[in-house]
Amino acid sequence: QTKKRNNPRVPLQVNVVIRSSLQSLREKIDQLKELLLRAVSTRQITQLEGDRRQNLVDDLLTRHKQLEASYKNEGPEPDVTRSSLMTGGVKRGVTNPWLMEESEETRGLGFDDLRQQQRRIIEEQDAGLDALSSIISRQKQMGQEIGNELDEQNEIIDDLTNLVENTDGRLRSQTRHVKMVDRKSTSCG
Nearest Cα residue to 52 out of 6, 10, 114: 114
Q: Report pLDDT for 9.
A: 53
Question: What pTM, to 2 d.p., does this model score?
Answer: 0.36
Where is pLDDT greater, at 50 or 163? 163
Each residue of 37-84: pLDDT tens digit? 888 888 888 888 888 888 888 888 888 888 888 877 754 444 454 545
Each residue of 114-126: pLDDT tens digit? 888 889 889 999 9
CB 59 within 8 A of CB 97: yes
> Within its chain, how far is the Cα of 24 from the centroid?
35
User: Which amino acid does the sequence have at 18?
Assistant: I
Give the count of beta carbons closer than 10 Å to the beta carbon of residue 53: 18
CB 24 within 8 A of CB 64: no
Each residue of 109-161: pLDDT tens digit? 777 888 888 898 899 999 999 999 999 999 999 999 999 999 999 999 999 99
Query: Residue 4 pLDDT > 50, yes or no?
Result: no
The CA distance from 109 to 101, in Å, is: 14
